[in-house]
Amino acid sequence: MGRWTLGATRALGDVSIWRPLVIGHMRRLGVDSIPIAIFIAIFTGIVLALLASYIFTGAMPLYMVGALVGKTVMMELGPVLTGMALAGRVGANIAAEIGTMRVTEQVDALETLGYDPRSYLVVPRVVAATLMFPVITAFAVAVGVLAGWVTSVNLLDLSSVEFLKGLRLFYHFKDLWFGLVKSASFGAAIALMGSLRGLAARGGAEGVGEATTRAVVLGCEAILVLDAFWAVVLL
């Protein structure tokens, strides 16, 4: 563990190696992830609005639908569902790519050319995911709330004014940054799991497949653990 930390610190110190690579990884991440994030957000928003109206009807004023959709999308479902989906997509992608490089000796080739694979392969991916996940999640949150709003107006007996009133009523700035901080940590965890599983891949195609599966499972587990961690620490 101590050696691992030392290695990671040194890799982070190789700024001149990883910095030029970050932008490219961010772009790829965005292109890969935004469509799926938006897709999930739309359906989450719709379901949440209907669910909230079902729960609140007769018990509370219906504008509470806006509050529930806003809070849950920003604080929990936006970051977590997006994170889960990207653990599959991004985590698997990274593990497969680095795993293939490992079993075809490309990682060894990197080392013989004087590059620390952690500096060249792992750090730029982790940094890119940490920076990009909040952006993707912000998109998802906006789309989710919008979907909830449209649903409320069209399928429920709710006006835009009422929905927005509910949305604003209990909103704190913390709701938003809480979700975004969480998503940054999810991004870091997913990229890290994918990279480390990839680097540890052994054998041939089978080893890469195994690394990929492990990366996705570990990524999802990390998300759940981190989700609880942030709730305990920040709420």
Partner 1 sequence: MIVLDGVCKAFGPRVILDGLTLDVPDGRNTVIIGRSGSGKSVTLRCIVGLLQPDAGAVRVDDVVVGELDRDGLTALRSRIGYVFQFAALFDSMTVAENIALGLTRRGIDAPEIAERVRESLALVDLAGTEAKYPAELSGGMRKRVGIARAVALRPRYILYDEPTTGLDPMTTATMDELMIRTRDLGVTGVVVSHDMKSAFAVGDRIAMLHQGRIHRMGSADEMRASDDPVVRAFIEGRPDHAVAAR
CB of 115 to partner 1, least distance (A): 6
> Of the two residues 116 and 162, which places its CB atom closer to partner 1 in the complex?
116
Q: Contact, 153 vs 133, CB < 8 A?
A: no
CB of 114 to partner 1, least distance (A): 5
> Of the two residues 105 and 206, which places its CB atom closer to partner 1 in the complex?
105
> Of the two residues 24 and 61, which places its CB atom closer to partner 1 in the complex?
24
How many angstroms separate the most distant Cα atoms in the chain? 70
32 touches partner 1 (CB under 8 A): no
CB of 116 to partner 1, least distance (A): 7
> Of the two residues 108 and 221, which places its CB atom closer to partner 1 in the complex?
108
CB of 194 to partner 1, least distance (A): 16
SS (H, E, C) the chain: CHHHHHHHHHHHHCHHHHHHHHHHHHHHHHHHHHHHHHHHHHHHHHHHHHHHHHHHCCCCCCCHHHHHHHHHHHHHHHHHHHHHHHHHHHHHHHHHHHHHHHHCCHHHHHHHCCCCHHHHHHHHHHHHHHHHHHHHHHHHHHHHHHHHHHHHHHHCCCCHHHHHHHHHHCCCHHHHHHHHHHHHHHHHHHHHHHHHHHHCCCCCHHHHHHHHHHHHHHHHHHHHHHHHHHHHHHC
10 touches partner 1 (CB under 8 A): yes
> Of the two residues 59 and 113, which places its CB atom closer to partner 1 in the complex?
113
CB of 139 to partner 1, least distance (A): 27
27 touches partner 1 (CB under 8 A): no
# chain residues binding partner 1, by CB under 8 A: 15
> Of the two residues 15 and 109, which places its CB atom closer to partner 1 in the complex?
109
Q: Contact, 49 vs 62, CB < 8 A?
A: no
CB of 113 to partner 1, least distance (A): 4
Rule CB under 8 A: which of 57-116 touch partner 1?
A: 101, 104-106, 108-116
Point out which residues bind partner 1 (CB under 8 A): 10, 17, 101, 104-106, 108-116
